[in-house]
Amino acid sequence: MYNSKISGLGMYVPENVVTNEDLSKIMDTSNEWIIERTGIKERRHIKKGDGNTTATMGVEAAKIAMKRAGIEKNEIDLILFATLSPDYYFPGSGVLVQELLDIPTCPAMDIRNQCSGFIYAISTADQYVKSGMYKNILVIGSENHSGGLDMTSRGRGVSVIFGDGAGAAVVSREEDLTKGILSSHLHSEGKYAEELALISPSTNRWVPEIIDSNDSEDISYYPNMNGQLVFKNAVVRFSEVIMEGLKHNNLSPDQIDMLIPHQANLRISQFVQKRFGLSENQIHNNIQKYGNTTAGSIPIALTEAWQEGKIKEGDIVVLAAFGSGFTWGSTIIRW
């Protein structure tokens, strides 16, 4: 029996900074309006021609994670790539990463659980390592949102929230069963699937049908979000799944050394922080700088917190996410 641990972390975001003031020039919004509702001050967007894609950003984050883990490309046994914005409809971005990193013919799998994607991917990696099947697994969360947003006043409720970026982790075998990933807890509730969704293009409404309709008011190919419903569900599910993970490991909220929540909305994170009585030193938020990077948000925030020395050996680190599906989950780690 083995345990698994995160042996290396990396992150990458595009250089192009888009501030709230920048957005106010192209849509009916303001710095104050965005900060009040989301806490976001700026985000990163891919700039046309800069060479960034969902896969290439994942590669840059992966290179850093692999170097920090002290492993070579031929030691990667499996690639798990979490995203809602793959380079292509198919194939998945995991195989593109394999090619770009020149990794031998290891398996690659895309995980489509949106904001919860990294938690689902970490849980999958954990099980493969614990079973003894694989020793080193590359887990990536990466998103290119800016290429598919309605950057007009019509879409401001969604478009001001999202940014581009990638984070990566190497999950490796750990002989000490008291350390590493202790457990993950995953859930979904599909009845709310269309409350946070991108409806088309899809096999139900493919590209020719959209083109033939010639309907300038057709917004089905832009993300749709019932913001109030998402917020209400998020604050409940975040709290439930964090407590589920703590109880499973006989831990209490005051034993959390670092909480890394999915960066959906600063107000949600602050609610959860208050609910568990955590200090500013026990939670890491960076949505103010990067916006919501969906599957990339937890690995980016986790990498940043680790780089800043906020996570030390022996710390109890909690990862938690809620998003489209609805899906949600938590992972408990003894660092």
Report the catalytic residues: 115, 262, 292
Residues 303 and 60: their CA atoms lie apart, in Å, by 13
Alpha helices in 78-201 (DSSP H): 93-100, 117-130, 156-159
DSSP string, 252-288: -GGG-SEEEE--S-HHHHHHHHHHTT--GGGB---HH
Residues 90 and 309: their CA atoms lie apart, in Å, by 39
Structure tokens at 111: 């995980």
CB 311 within 8 A of CB 169: no
Q: How far apart are the first and last CA of the chain?
A: 19
Pairing of strands 165-174, 224-225: unpaired
Instruction: Write the CB contacts of 131 (distance below 8 Å, at least 6 apart in sequence).
Output: none
Tell me how crowded residue 151 is: count the other CB atoms within 10 A of its CB.
16
CB 330 within 8 A of CB 289: no
- Residue 104, CB half-sphere, CA atoms under 13 Å: how many? 6
CA nearest 15: which of 53, 44, 51, 42?
Answer: 44
- Residue 126, CB half-sphere, CA atoms under 13 Å: how many? 21
CB 29 within 8 A of CB 19: no
Residues 256 and 188: their CA atoms lie apart, in Å, by 25
